[in-house]
Structure 1
């Protein structure tokens, strides 16, 4: 489901989340047990997910995942790993760079360590949310390759949610097409053909910090 492709620019993540929440509310099953669970991919997905959770009356938590970057090109994602899940790799990207999974074993270990650090930082001693049997909406601020979302969705699927959706304001068309089979519902406000980077579709796309995540979660809890 792609809506509003001609109105793709967002003022900031809050506005994107409000618009996205309206779309999620249209497709959310109305016969699920309890409140829906909205899971944010930090850091950028958190303010978007806050607005979605408020719009649909859902619970809010985090789903931690990390990109696996190519050697000497850490910004170029060739895979991803989510909490308690196996790494997921982009086999096309690996072939293009003449890499094997074994070549990335050290990077995978480092990213697992960073996931553990973030879990301690964001949750303290609180356990990860229970997913089984719930309507779950995974939220990020946008997708370029989609590999991180794929790792997160596959990890969630193993936990047997009743219904699983991925909701993003904007994504690259190949990422949208490639993720169709990983969620029960894929909700994207726009997949513009001229997509190059997520930040191009926001007026304000500043880098978020751990403290920004804390404030957003506290604000939701107090509201």
Structure 2
């Protein structure tokens, strides 16, 4: 169990999965740079996180900007939206009659990604809700602004285990203040930190290595 002062931000798991170096530059070295994608994402989340926009539609209760945490994983954050559906068997909500099942919904500006970054984030939210509410949450949704559709995410044992292992790795990096070396790929072009990271320069051979090779060659000659 982690102490509250050691909690990491839950939403950062998507940055870590996208690129461990990006996460370390932003949240260990505290370097950050906005681009169009990050600004559009903020606008979408500001709308989803408006806590004043609570809704009740029949047997459905919609809660926005719900604070969540997990002492087991050492993380805290907010759910964009949590939907509570009235059912015959579920959890009890204070001040509400009956029982409810819990469905987290994460909002993203783009479209479904090839990697698991978005899936891990909503799965992490579900694990926090399970720990807080003492229930089992089998699935959730990701709403993509570009496609304007929800994608259903099944929270399998494999996904849940990956979330826990990823947070454990994040804690190790943070405690060691470790920034991984760059691994260039196509996704570097879309990264808001590419000018700070300088992937092309980092990929080049070091000056000290170059000097060592020159000296070694001269000694051989």
Structures share a fold, TM > 0.5?
A: no
Structure exhibiting the larger radius of gyration computed from Cα positions: 2
Structure 1 length normalisation: TM-score?
A: 0.22
Q: State TM-score, norm by structure 2.
A: 0.22
